[in-house]
Chain A
Amino acid sequence: MTAVLAHPELGTEATPRVRLAAEQVRLAYGENVVVDSLDLDLVDGSFTAIVGPNGCGKSTLLRALGRLLRPTSGQVVLDGKPIAKTPTRDVARVLGLLPQTPIAPEGLTVADLVARGRHPHQSWLRQWSRDDEAVVAEALRWTDMLDLADRPVDALSGGQRQRAWISMALAQGTDLLLLDEPTTYLDLSHQIDVLELVARLHAERGRTVAVVLHDLNLAARYAQRLVAMKDGVLVASGTPAEVLTEQLLDEVFDLEARVIEDPVSGTPMVVPVRRLR
């Protein structure tokens, strides 16, 4: 387990503020330790993709960052405060999270789904303010879902459904957004569609984004920073070009591969040769 790059942060100007950090976290399901002594910083305005082979603990890490899983030791820190000690409602106004396969109740319309994103901003007396309506309308428009607002979520195609969920996350109005494999079960063009949307959230809306992705080439194309994990350990972190090397693919994915330049985006592109070991 060699660290390819210790701690590369963006630019040389004043260090950007760390929004979300895992500090020496140890994550376990019962006796089974999945992640051990892991450190990770997400700085303001960054777009990070977490990659690694199946079972490496990347989704587990994301769940811990989103306080869905409590570390058995170490802590997750949001804006300088331990996330476990911050009221969950306050966290929900700053940090949004889209689970891997979210469940929409049958019969729920897209508008109702997206409106549910306002929950952390509402109270029993204040259930649907002008603000809520404007934000939800904007979220629907922005994700191009306004025309489908009255449709039940279960009647949508996979790609549309994922857009609806992203729209909900957008309506939640959080600075930080964590997405767990948002492209699962989508065909390539819808994968691109979803990632373009996430990239626009980052670029145009200034969201700090962390996403767990399986596809290395798409991760390299859309994210500014890649984090590679193996067996619950953070192996490499840096720009896509720094992380996606032939040596790393060998180490982390047991893969012999060539890395070439993506002719479209100029980012590294992995061409697999064969599985090693």
Chain B
Amino acid sequence: MTAGGSITTRSTPQHVDKRRTVRIGPLSGVVRTRQLLLPVVAAIALVLVSAVSIGRGDYPIGLLDVLRTLVGAGDQTQQFIITELRAPRIVVGALVGLALGLSGALIQTFARNPLASPDTLGINAGASAAAVAVIVLGGGSSAAAGLLGGLGLQVAALIGALLTALLIFVLAWDKGVDGYRLVLVGIGLGAVGYAVVDWLLTRSDITDAAAATVWLTGSLNARTWDQAWPLALALLVLVPVALALSRVLGVLQFGEDTARALGIRVGRAQATVVLVAVCLAAAAVAAAGPVQFVALVVPQVAVRLAGGSRPPLLASGLLGALLVVGADLLARTVLPVALPVGIVTAVIGAPYLLWLLVRGRRSIT
């Protein structure tokens, strides 16, 4: 048995590799610099981009004034504009991105497939079908317009997403969840969902169709604290659970047999991972519509930036938030027409997906 090629320097038997270790009392863990640095950098960038975004609009506010107001030291006009008019949009955007990034990272790691995400799993399609049904069948364009601002649409999308998730579960479950089976079932259900959307759109009048189309591309327009709070509460529960799953995910990655041999209760672990991922995606789609490609692209970007064998969870969430807030800023300011954020994330995401596909199969098995 020869090592061949370049051989790293032999370490002393007490040290396994170049990893840095932290041990405080009974606590111990491994510190990987890049994996620690990435979320920090992403969080700082997120705060800055958010502050810039809050400042931009018909009544521009400087970056310093924004930051001053956020810590509670601004004047009253600015206070009102920022906290009541602009912050909800940014907060919803950031939370949606966070939820989608995390959801994508969970599903991709679990399915061992970089193409698995809430987009391909049909969850967005289910939410879309339900939301469009409310807009189109909800009785007239004025009612639809009223619902758009209110909670009705949000609840409908949430129910649509969760029902689809339940169906995916029921259809994909076979003494556990196989990654491939999950993706295939999801693609099938997604096709059904979007067929329903198309059918509804063809028999709707033009105003409803326009309202539905805006919702379908994923938009942060007219978002208020009414959307932000339920989403924030959902994430308050889901994010800690998702982060706590990290250790189990690291073992589930090896496939069912090895995971079970290492003492994981595979069925329960798989169900928890998929459930948390699906709930995150459902909460996001309910708040902002199906913002495309964030969940698909961000985890793959994160794993390339951080290194390692799987998308880092926290960094994926923060980069997702950064992408959505940044795309919204672009959509509102740089582009000549104010586009829904979903179009911009798709324009950034789709070429990346193509690049991934052209690069050939990656970590399929």
Binding site for B on A (CB under 8 A): 63, 66-68, 88-93, 96-99, 102-109, 111-112, 114-117, 119-120, 122, 124-130, 132-134, 136-138, 140-141, 144, 146-151, 157, 159-160, 163, 172, 190, 193
Decide yes or no: A130 and B23 within 8 Å by CB, A107-B309, A124-B244 being known contacts: yes
Q: Which residue of B lies closest to A124 (CB)?
A: B247
Chain A residues with CB under 8 A of B263? 88-93, 119-120
Chain A residues with CB under 8 A of B8? 147-151
Nearest 9 pairs between A and B by C-beta? A92-B263, A108-B309, A106-B363, A89-B263, A120-B263, A99-B257, A97-B261, A111-B17, A107-B309
- Nearest chain B CB to A100's CB is how many angstroms away? 9
Partner of A88 from B13, B265, B309 at Cβ < 8 Å: B265
Decide yes or no: A136 and B16 within 8 Å by CB, A97-B257, A105-B309 being known contacts: yes
Q: How far is the CA of A102 from the CA of B303 in the complex (A)?
A: 22
1/0 per residue, CB under 8 A from A, across B41-64: the answer is 000000000000000000000000
Decide yes or no: A129 and B28 within 8 Å by CB, A88-B260, A116-B251, A159-B1 being known contacts: yes
The majority secondary structure among interface residues of chain B is loop
Q: How far is the CA of A150 from the CA of B264 in the complex (A)?
A: 26
Are B261 and A99 in contact (CB-based, < 8 A)? Answer: yes
Are B15 and A137 in contact (CB-based, < 8 A)? Answer: yes
- Nearest chain A CB to B189's CB is how many angstroms away? 25
Q: Is B250 an interface residue (CB 8 A)?
A: yes
Kindly state the interface size class of chain B when it binds its partner: 35 or more
- Nearest chain B CB to A143's CB is how many angstroms away? 9
Chain B residues with CB under 8 A of A144? 1
Are A147 and B10 in contact (CB-based, < 8 A)? Answer: yes
Binding site for A on B (CB under 8 A): 1, 3-4, 7-8, 10-11, 13-19, 21, 23, 26-30, 112, 244, 247, 250-251, 253-258, 260-265, 303, 307-310, 362-363, 365
Chain B residues with CB under 8 A of A119? 247, 251, 262-264
Are B257 and A149 in contact (CB-based, < 8 A)? Answer: no
Chain A residues with CB under 8 A of B26? 125-126
Chain B residues with CB under 8 A of A117? 262
Chain A residues with CB under 8 A of B3? 147-148, 160
Are B254 and A115 in contact (CB-based, < 8 A)? Answer: no
- Nearest chain B CB to A146's CB is how many angstroms away? 6
Are B15 and A92 in contact (CB-based, < 8 A)? Answer: no
Chain B residues with CB under 8 A of A151? 8
Are B262 and A128 in contact (CB-based, < 8 A)? Answer: no
Using A102-B255, A129-B23 as known contacts, list a sample of 4 further A-B pairs with CB atoms less than 8 Å apart, ordered by residue number in A. Answer: A109-B17, A111-B19, A128-B23, A146-B11
Q: How far is the CA of A115 from the CA of B261 in the complex (A)?
A: 14
- Nearest chain B CB to A117's CB is how many angstroms away? 7
Decide yes or no: A133 and B14 within 8 Å by CB, A88-B260, A92-B262, A117-B262 being known contacts: yes
Q: Which residue of A lies closest to B6 (CB)?
A: A151
Chain A residues with CB under 8 A of B23? 128-130
Are A127 and B257 in contact (CB-based, < 8 A)? Answer: no
- Nearest chain B CB to A59's CB is how many angstroms away? 11
Are A105 and B310 in contact (CB-based, < 8 A)? Answer: yes
Chain A residues with CB under 8 A of B261? 66, 68, 92, 96-99
